[in-house]
Amino acid sequence: MATVFRSAGFAKETEALLIRGMLESNGLPAFVTGVEGMPGPYRLPVREVCVQVPEDRKNEAECLIAEARAAGPAAAEEAEAATEGGEA
C-alpha cells in the first residue's frame, strides 16, 4: 500500500475520509488508517491519519487528489448536484 495523504487532528481525519470517498468514487480502492479514540462525538484522533491506496495506483490517486484540490469546493458541489439529477 502507498500513502497518498498523511496528517493529524480532527479536521484532517474528516479530510482523509473525504479523500477516501473521492478516490473510491473514481474506482480506486482506498483505506483510512490511524483513526482511533473514543467512539461518537467525543472521539479524538490519537495518532497520524493516512489514506492509502494500492502501490500500483498511487500516481493515479495523487493526480485525482491534486485535481480535486485545484477545482475546489465549487466543483464538489457541482458533481454532487449532477449525481442527484440536478444542475449546478
Give the Cα separation of 22 and 65 in Å (integer). 8
7 — phi, psi (to 5°)? -170, -175
Cell representation of residue 9: 487532528
What is the CB neighbour count within 10 angstroms for residue 29?
Answer: 13
For residue 49, which of 78, 1, 7 has the smallest C-alpha distance?
Answer: 7
Give pLDDT tens digits for 40-63: 565 555 568 899 999 999 999 999
pTM beyond 0.85: the answer is: no
On whether the 2-83 domain is CATH 3.30.70, my answer is yes
Please answer whether residues 1 and 31 qualify as being in contact, where contact means their C-beta atoms are separated by less than 8 angstroms: yes
pLDDT at 88 (0 to 100): 46
Give pLDDT tens digits for 68-84: 889 887 776 776 677 67
